[in-house]
Amino acid sequence: MNVDIGNALASVASPGVSRASLERLDEQVADAHERIEAGMANAEHGYEALNVPDRTDPDEIRAAVEPVADADALITVGIGGSSLGAATITNALDSDTETVFLDNVDPEWVSRHLERLPLADTAINVVSRSGTTAETLANFLVVREAVESAGVDWTERTIVTTGEAGPLRDLANRHDLPSLPVPDGVPGRFSALSAVGLVAAAVCGHDLEALLEGAAAEAETLSGSLFDCPAYAYGATSYALDQRGAGVNAMMPYAESLETAAEWFAQLWAESLGKDDLGQTPVRALGVTDQHSQLQLYRAGPRDKLVTFVTAREGEDRPIPGTDVDDLAYLGDATLGDLLEAEFEATEASLAAAGRPNVRVELERVDEYELGGLLYGMEAACVLAGELYGVNTFEQPAVEWAKKATRGLLGGGEFEEAAAVAEKTELR
């Protein structure tokens, strides 16, 4: 990926960051890079995430999905980091396999999917690092029952990706299900390029090697200066802008296929950096759709935002048919791709003209290689930003608290958190 921070500089934007202060920040980037490199070399918890492209074995993943490779549809049951990486990849790329991601436990929505899908020809991909997440386990039990009711042996259609121990691992062992491990030391939201994200990609027939090669190429660019490394340029600039008041980071891809990437990014940024009263609030937007809604706020609302554009240089195009209406003649000479590009350029320029900081993250095209680079690059940007903020990027105590309280309220143990929730509920 390429990162252009020109419109985030103080000469263009307010709040913007001056070249001189970025040069000063670069000394901290160099120190942070040393810590990151050491963490990677020692396979320390969290830093190990940046070794994932080297550690993932595509053959092992393909072998595990082989029994369901002919599926017409794929249900991935998982949530947060156990869902969004896979969804980012499969929603971005074309496949004959329909993909459904059951993360929410809204009963009406879950039932609607199960009633609609061809369950006899559907593969089930269950993913949970801990193997204890209530939403994932509950949805899996519901899916399993629906598949059984359709007269299908669910054990022949299910692949499990989970940690070494826990209820989901027990279930996989008990039913002798094909299963893959979650790599040690890799928090959920950093695991897209492991089996956690790649099982779904493999069932959909995507090129796993290209995903990993794109990520590995991005890994090669990690260096001790934000001026030489696109991922660090992004992480450092976002951090510097936040320090100057841009507490909101709106990611706005100009490609429908990358809409889920903004959702994945929002989790990565929020769950990793939102600690100790610090962190930018990520917002999901989509070009051109949100030019007709959120853009008004981005250009003229509070000066508290960074807008991150993600663009793809090349892609499929489609001509706009001509008409004999004079006022529409300008469209007849163009393609939808021309229009999309013009909309993006106009939006980027309009934000710059209004002094609103924005950064452009450019991909060559939306394919496996470029997606691998984007996922890895944003993970590295996030790890660097975490170092600069001085937070523990790789823990998520607030998320864990709510998980335990939920289980506790249903009688599943860990009563300390559940009692606090019950007390609050009584107060209302």
Q: Which residues bind ligand PA5 (CB under 6 A)?
A: 79-82, 128-130, 133, 136, 187-189, 271, 396, 399
Please choose, from the candidates 263, 268, 264, 214, the residue with its C-alpha nearest in 3D space to the C-alpha of residue 238. 268
CB closer to ligand PA5, 237 vs 280: 280
CB of 102 to ligand PA5, least distance (A): 13
Active-site residue (options: 220, 292, 424, 426): 292
Alpha helices in 256-335 (DSSP H): 259-273, 295-300, 329-332
- Among the listed residues 48, 259, 271, 417, the single catalytic one is 271
Q: Which run of H or E residues covers position 240?
A: helix 230-243
Using CA atoms, how far apart are residues 215 and 192, in angstroms rounded to an integer? 11
Q: In angstroms, give the least distance from the CB of 141 to ligand PA5.
A: 14
Instruction: Please indicate whether residue 33 is annotated as part of the active site.
Output: no
Polymer length of the chain: 428
Q: Which residue is nearest to ligand PA5 (CB)?
A: 188
Q: Assess contact for 235 and 392: CB atoms under 8 A.
A: no
Instruction: Give the count of beta carbons closer than 10 Å to the beta carbon of residue 139.
Output: 22
Q: Is 279 helix (H, G, I), strand (E, B) or coil?
A: coil
Q: What is the largest CA-CA distance in the chain?
A: 71
Closer residue to ligand PA5, CB minimum distance, 226 or 261: 261
Catalytic entry in 218, 403, 404, 417: 403
Interior angle at CA 424, CA 421 and CA 428, nearest 5: 140
Identify which of residues 187 and 253 has a Cβ nearer to ligand PA5 in the complex: 187
What residues have CB less than 8 Å from 101, skipping those under 6 apart? 75, 76, 78, 83, 86, 87
Judged by CB, which is closer to ligand PA5: 64, or 295?
64
Supply the minimum distance, in Å, between the C-beta of residue 20 and ligand PA5: 36
- Nearest-angstrom CA–CA distance, 140 and 160: 10
Task: Quickly count: other Cβ atoms within 10 Å of residue 427's Cβ.
Answer: 6
Minimum distance from CB of 19 to ligand PA5 (Å)?
Answer: 35
Are the beta carbons of 200 and 125 closer than 8 angstroms?
yes
**CA angle 223-249-341, nearest 5°?**
85
How far apart are the C-alpha atoms of 152 and 68, rounded to whole Å?
13
Give me the least distance between CB of 340 and ligand PA5, in Å please.
Answer: 32
Establish whether 403 is a catalytic residue: yes
Shortest Cβ distance from residue 323 to ligand PA5 (Å)?
Answer: 49
| Cβ closest to ligand PA5, residue 128 vs residue 249 | 128
- Tell me the C-alpha distance between 364 and 1, whole Å: 8
- The vertex-272 CA angle with 398 and 297, nearest 5°, equals 95
CB of 80 to ligand PA5, least distance (A): 3
CB of 77 to ligand PA5, least distance (A): 10
Q: Which amino acid is at 129?
A: R
Judged by beta carbon, residue 347 or residue 396, the one nearer ligand PA5 is 396
**Cβ closest to ligand PA5, residue 33 vs residue 129:** 129
Tokens of 413: 């143990």
Q: Is 256 a catalytic residue?
A: no
Q: Are 214 and 368 in contact (CB under 8 A)?
A: yes
Q: Toward ligand PA5, which CB reaches closer, 25 or 61?
A: 61
- Distance CA(115)–CA(262), nearest Å, equals 29
Residues 16, 20, 22, CA angle at the centre, nearest 5°?
A: 65
Which residues are identified as catalytic? 271, 292, 403
